[in-house]
Chains A and B, each alone.
Chain A
Amino acid sequence: MPGASSRLIAIACGTAGLAGFFALWQVIGHYQLAGLSWPPLTAVLQYLFDPDRHALFLRAIDATLRSTIAGYLIGALTGIGLASIAYTLPMLQRGSDRFAAVVNSIPSIALGPIFLILISREATPAGVASIHVFFIVYVSMNSGLASTSQAHEDLFSALGSSRLKRFLRLNFPSAVPAIASGLRLSWPAALIGAIIGEWFGAPRGIGILIINSMQNFQINLLWSAVLLAAMASLFFFGMLTLVERAAYRRFR
Chain B
Amino acid sequence: MYQSLYRKYRPRNFSEVLGQNHIVRTLKNQIKTGRIGHAYLFCGTRGTGKTSVAKIFAKAVNCPNSVEGEPCNRCQICESANNNSLIDIIEIDAASNNSVDDVRELRDNIIYAPSICKYKVYIIDEVHMLSGSAFNALLKTLEEPPSHAIFILATTEPNKIPATILSRCQRFDFKRIPSKVISQNIGKIAKDSNINIENRAIAMIARHGNGSMRDAISILEQCVSYNDVLTYDDVCDILGTVNDDTLYTLVKRINDRNAKEVINQIDKLMLYGIDVSNLIKAMLSFLRDIVIYKTCGTESEEILETEINDKILKASEFDMSFLSNAIEKLIDLQGKIRYAQSPRILFEITVLKLMNPEISPDIDSILDRIKKLENRLNNVKVAFNGENDAGIILKKDVVKSEKGVEDDEVDADEIKNKHVKITESTEKSDKIDVNEVFKEVLNIIKKDRPMIFSFLSLGKPYLKDGNFMIEYPKEHEFYKDELNKVENKDYIKDVIKKLTGIDYIVNVVVKKNENDELIEAVKKYFGDVEIID
- Tell me whether A and B are bound partners: no
